[in-house]
Structure 1
Amino acid sequence: MRYVGRVPAAPLDRFIDDIYCLSGVPRHRRMNVPPMPSAHLFINLGEPARLRDSDPSVPPAVFAGGWFMGVWTRRFLIEYPARVRLVGVHFKPWGLSPFVDVPLAELRDRWVPADAVWQRSVNRIRDRAGESASANEALRVVEEELRSRLAEAAPRGLGLVQHTGGRLETSHGAVPVGALAEAAGVSGNHLAVQFKSHVGVTPKRVARIYRFARLILSVDALRPVDWSDLAHAAGYFDRAHFSREFKDFTGHTPAEYLALRRRFPAEAGFPPDSGPMPAD
């Protein structure tokens, strides 16, 4: 499968990590996706994809068009079709806020059809970025749509969330939330309310996800792995807590995860392999 991605130009880069196009035959049809510090937009330009929540009470979904996903605090599974063609957007945790008129708490751990959020938009995007368009042209189409959807004035409180969230991003979740609130001159409760409004989760939860992402992306399955060193470097100071969170986020113990990664190595230079892991 081919990946073409880029960071959009300003001002979109304040809210978006990258826009990308996936196309071709996937190495693995089913991928287990752990919590990562991002929200998503997917526009499917090919055959339908299936999504399954790790919560067995949530029914699976089939998406032939497009869908939004807020920040996820648990893993989910995506099942690709036999041949993939889709355009995706990785938003920063707070990045969806100026593009959608939906409470972000309603998108937490959920997938929602894109047309339910952006009325009658998916067919227009699919028509312009369809099979005949190059990957770069498809990216340009989606970037234009994002520019047209960006709110002229930032929603109230987003500046605070963007600033403090940026510190969590650069520190990989290592800055205590109390210190963030104090530095910003607000109470911890006020900061939590603003994060729930513009991210859908609390700053403490965002910090946990950034910390986990740092750890999982630092694993080199081709070399011996000292989990204690990696956990400590990522900010875990309680081994039992680290083990519980790792199992919650991946569905595997660290040893099981390492065995899986050695059985199915991530493809070098292919970002979709870095966090998600094969489920087959």
Structure 2
Amino acid sequence: MEYVGRVPAPPLDRFIDDIYCLTGVPHHRLMNVPPMPSAHLFLHLDGPVRLWDSDRSVPPAVFTDGWFMGVWTRRFLFEYPPHVRLVGVHFKPWGMSPFVDMPTADLRNRWAPVDAVWQRSVDRIRNRTGDAASAAETLRALEEELRSRLAEAPARGLDLVQHTGGRLETSHGAIPVSSLADAAGVSGNHLANVFKTHVGVTPKRMARIYRFARLIVSVDALRPVDWSELAQAAGYFDHAHFSREFKDFTGHSPTGYLALVRRFPTERRGPHDFGPMPAD
């Protein structure tokens, strides 16, 4: 598939890592996605797409237009259609908050139809782009929609979350949450509460996801992998804890994950290639 993406212009870049188009025939239709440090908006212009929660008590979902997802703390699965024409937004973990008129925590480990959050936005973008629109035209329409949805004033606590969340991002989750709270001049409980409001998870949980993401991105399947070394570099100092968390997040042991990646290698052309793996 072809990936075309870019960082949006200010002020959207404060809240969004990238906007992108993904088109073509997928090499693997069923994908397994571990927790990653982002929230998402997907507009599928050639649906439908099916999704499954790894929690089997949650019923599967089918979306013909698009969906929002908050931060996930467990893996989920999705199935591409035979031909993909998808427009997406990778929000920073706190970045969805100023674009939606609902508690971000309500989207934690959940997906919701786009029109349930943004009424009539899918039709508006479809009307502006059409079937023959280029990726650049489609991204321009999406960026204008995002600008129109951005709140004029930040909600209470968002600046604090953005500042401390940015430190978690640059440190890959290595900064103790107590240090973040002390530096911000707030209590640990207050910081946890504002994170839950704007991210859906506590800063401690967010740090775990950043730490895991660093580990996954650092895996080079073309070379021998020293899992102990990678785990320690990512901040895991208890190998048993690392193995349990890896299995929880991916559904595989580290060696099983490596074997899967070697069976189905990817060129990692864009952010969509980091984390998601074929469901074997």
When normalised by structure 1's length, the TM-score is: 0.98
Given that residues 47 and 65 in structure 2 are in contact (C-alpha distance below 8 angstroms), is that contact kept between their aligned partners in structure 1? Answer: no
Secondary structure class of the residue paired with 1:56: coil
How far does residue 125 in structure 1 lie from its aligned partner after superposition? 1.3
| Structure 1 residue 130 displacement after superposition | 2.9
1:98 partner SS: helix
Cα distance, 1:123 vs structure 2? 1.2
1:31 matched to which residue of 2? Answer: 31
For residue 42 of structure 2, what is the aligned residue in structure 1?
A: 42
Alignment pair present for 1:97 and 2:90: no
Structure 2's unaligned 5+ residue stretches are none
Deviation at 1:271, TM superposition (A): 3.0
What amino acid is the match of 1:192? A
Matched residue SS, 2:97: coil
Partner of 2:110: 110
Deviation at residue 66 of structure 1 after TM alignment:
1.4
Deviations 1:163-208 (A, max 9, x none): 0000000000000000000000000000000000000000001100
1:22: Cα distance to partner?
0.4
> Structure 1 residue runs of 4+, over 6 Å off?
none
What secondary structure is seen at the aligned counterpart in 1 of 2:192? helix
Answer yes or no: is the 8 Å Cα contact 1:101–1:117 preserved in 2: yes
CA distance, structure 2, for counterparts of residue 266 and residue 213 of structure 1: 17
Structure 1 residue 268: deviation in Å?
3.8
The whole-number CA distance in structure 2 between the counterparts of 1:190 and 1:83 is 46
CA distance in 2 between counterparts of 1:221 and 1:34 reads 17
Q: Is the 8 A contact 1:32 1:278 kept in 2?
A: yes
Distance (Å, rounded) in 1 between the aligned partners of 2:244 and 2:19: 33
2:73 aligned partner = 73
Q: Cα distance, 1:16 vs. partner?
A: 0.1
Cα displacement (A) at 1:108: 0.1
Aligned to 1:151: 151
When structure 1 is superposed on structure 2, of 22-31 and 123-132 the one drifting more is 123-132
CA contact (8 A) 2:3 2:269 kept: no
Match for 2:229: what amino acid?
D
Q: Which runs of 5+ in 1 are unaligned?
A: none
Q: Among all aligned residue pairs of Structure 1 and Structure 2, give the percentage whose two residues are the same amino acid.
A: 79
Q: TM-score, normalised by structure 2?
A: 0.98
Aligned counterparts of 1:121 and 1:270: Cα–Cα separation in 2: 25
3-state DSSP of counterpart to 2:50: strand
CA offset at residue 273 of structure 1? Answer: 1.9
**What is the deviation of 1:121?**
1.5
Q: How many residues align?
A: 280
Using the TM superposition, give the Cα deviation of residue 129 of structure 1 relative to its aligned residue in structure 2, in angstroms.
Answer: 2.5
**Residue-by-residue CA offset, 1:47-72 (whole Å, 9 max, x unaligned):** 21111111111111111111100000
